[in-house]
C-alpha cells in the first residue's frame, strides 16, 4: 500500500471557516482549500445565521491541519479568515448529520 496509512474515521478532517465574504462562490473556495490537499466536500452556510461560514472536509487529517495553520488569519477577498479544526466530538456527529457528511 503506497502513501500515508489511513487514520481512523474519528480523526478530524473537518475544517470550520468563518468570516468568508458573503459573495464567495464554490469554485473560489475549492481553489483556495485544494492548495493544501484533496478536498472531499465544502458546505457553505446559506441561512442568515450561517452565511459567511463553511465546513471543508479533507481526505486526510494532515491536510486539514495544514490548511488550518496556513489559512487562519489569511486575507481572502478582503476578509481575514478564521479557520479552526472542528474538534468537539459532541458537536461533530450533529454537524455531519446536518450537512450530509459521512
Q: Residue 35: which domain range? A: 14-87
Counting the structural domains of the chain, the total is 1
> pLDDT digit string (tens) for 34-66?
999 999 999 999 888 889 999 999 999 999 999
Task: Answer yes or no: pTM beyond 0.85.
Answer: no
Q: Within a domain: residue 75? A: yes
From residue 101, alpha-carbon distances to 7, 23, 73, 84 in Å are 17, 24, 26, 18
**What confidence score (pLDDT) does residue 98 get?**
77
> For residue 26, what is its C-alpha cell?
464554490
Reduce the DSSP state of residue 82 to 3 states and report it.
Answer: strand
Q: Within a domain: residue 61? A: yes
Confidence bin at 1 (pLDDT 50/70/90): very low
pLDDT at 102 over 90: no
Nearest to 41 by CA among 59, 23, 68: 59
Q: What is the CATH number of the domain that holds 40?
A: 3.30.70.330
Amino acid at each position: 500500500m503506497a502513501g500515508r496509512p489511513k487514520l481512523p474515521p474519528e480523526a478530524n478532517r473537518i475544517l470550520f471557516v468563518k468570516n468568508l465574504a458573503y459573495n464567495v462562490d464554490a469554485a473560489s473556495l475549492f481553489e483556495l482549500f485544494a492548495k493544501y490537499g484533496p478536498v472531499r466536500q465544502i458546505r457553505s452556510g446559506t441561512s442568515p445565521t450561517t452565511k459567511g461560514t463553511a465546513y471543508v472536509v479533507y481526505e486526510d487529517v494532515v491536510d486539514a491541519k495544514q490548511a488550518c495553520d496556513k489559512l487562519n488569519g489569511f486575507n481572502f477577498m478582503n476578509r481575514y479568515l478564521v479557520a479552526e479544526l472542528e474538534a468537539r466530538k459532541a458537536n461533530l456527529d450533529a454537524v455531519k448529520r446536518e450537512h450530509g457528511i459521512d
